[in-house]
Amino acid sequence: MNLVDRAKNICITPKTEWPVIAGETTSTSNLMTGYVAPLAIIGPIAGFIGGSIIGHSLPFVGTYRTPILAGIGIAIFTFVMAFVGVFILSLIIDALAPSFGGEKNKQQALKVAVYAYTPAWLAGILSIIPFLGMLAIFAALYSLYLLYLGLPRLMKCPEDKSIGYTAVVVICAIVLSVLISVVGGMFAGAGMMATGAFGGRSSAPSIQFDKDSPVGKLEQFGKNMEEAGKKMEAAQKSGNQEEAMKAAMAGLGTALGGGKAIESVDIEKLKPLIPETLSGLAKKSSRSEKNGVLGVMISKAEAEYSDGAGKSIQLEITDTGGASGLMGLASWASVQGEKEDQYGSEKTQKINGRLVHEKSSKSGGGEYSVVIAERFMVEAKSSNVDLNTLKTAVASIDLAKLEAMKNEGVKN
């Protein structure tokens, strides 16, 4: 059964779907690659779009966006922890089975953990609009209900003990989530991915889509991830832990790069794009850097312009490089929206194939950013310069030169 049908059935008709799942023989690699990975990536992508591209609107403050690098770090951690969480939860389910009259079976326990998570992973899309993220709690509660229905059918515990079994598993899951939060900055899940989280083949039927369509791009992304999974599996079987870790990191880079490993351009290529003057304002300071997390590198050049009399503009040019897949998915999803309130107006739309975000404050100032080639972001912002001036400032940058660099550092 393919991913869409399984996700639909487990959410809509779980009482009849759990017995079907119980009778299936599904490998760990197929579960992780064919089901967990596509669903678990929804929340991190939506969170990145909502937090780093659309932003959070705060009264009296305006729109706050998580810096791109920090947003990427959060997305990586959330995605990796989905695998860690589901593995550990399955171990808990398996270990507790005899205490509630059930039978220990690691593979069945893994299936319970994986499929019970389905509503929570699907609800991750709500993070694209930050204030809707609160609704995800209802999906989490439904996941508990699915867990309650699945435990007796897959772990073969008596029906009258399933409530207690579910309650203890949920308590352990809460403790697990707290522990994951504590060790979050360590990104401990990377090693676990190397021990078999990916690999194998998907049993879903092969359907061909236009390669330039959103679904076609996702299909190609899946194929590239499958290849990365094979490399990780081979490295793990070799017994060489160093090679296994390298393969896992390469697989993570492939996931964040939209199916390809991408090295961000050298900062020396971004620095010439920063002009000496911008909209009549002189450059007062500038800096550039290339850094990242888990080997996923981001390059950035920025500068501040001022006329010395109060007007100023901050300009940033960023190559998301190894995380450009997140930018691409935001573009493929055609993220759009607009709003207006007593503080100002804000709009996200596609113009000439480019994702554009603009914000104007009634107290003065604004922000304007554009995504180039689903990889580079150019942003101008100010607390005292109007939106039209910021648009002109961005238009004065050599965007065509950025567009021409779209294939630099791309490794097939």
For residue 401, pLDDT beyond 80: yes
What pLDDT score does 182 carry? 44
Beta bridge partners of 366: 360, 382
- What are the C-alpha distances in Å from 102 to residues 15, 19, 29, 38, 122? 19, 16, 25, 31, 29
279 compared with 81, residue with greater pLDDT: 279
Of the candidate ranges 100-114, 295-309, 322-336, the one whose mean pLDDT is the lowest:
322-336
What pLDDT score does 271 carry? 93
Which residues, 6 or more positions from 137, have their beta carbon under 8 angstroms from its beta carbon? Answer: none
Average pLDDT over the chain reads 75
| pLDDT tens digit sequence for 140-185 | 778 888 888 999 999 998 887 888 888 888 776 665 565 555 444 3
Closest to 335 in 3D by CA, of 314, 354, 360? 354
Of the candidate ranges 72-81, 108-117, 239-248, the one whose mean pLDDT is the lowest:
239-248
Average pLDDT rounded to a whole number, residues 393-408: 92
Of the candidate ranges 25-34, 56-65, 234-243, the one whose mean pLDDT is the lowest:
56-65
- The angle subtended at Cα 31 by Cα 28 and Cα 36, nearest 5°, is 130
Q: What order do you get walking across the sheet with 277-278 strand by strand? A: 277-278, 281-293, 296-306, 312-319, 376-382, 366-372, 354-361, 344-351, 337-341
For residue 59, pLDDT beyond 70: no
What pLDDT score does 155 carry? 92
Give the whole-angstrom CA distance, residue 277 versus residue 304: 10
Could you give the 3-state DSSP secondary structure of residue 71?
A: helix
What pLDDT score does 28 carry? 83
Give the whole-angstrom CA distance, residue 275 versus residue 218: 37
| pLDDT tens digit sequence for 284-326 | 999 998 876 545 678 889 999 999 888 999 999 988 876 655 5
Could you give the 3-state DSSP secondary structure of residue 400?
A: helix
297 compared with 134, residue with greater pLDDT: 297
What pLDDT score does 259 carry? 54
| pLDDT tens digit sequence for 219-274 | 555 555 555 556 655 655 666 656 655 555 555 555 555 556 677 889 999 999 99
- The model's pTM: 0.49
What pLDDT score does 38 carry? 87
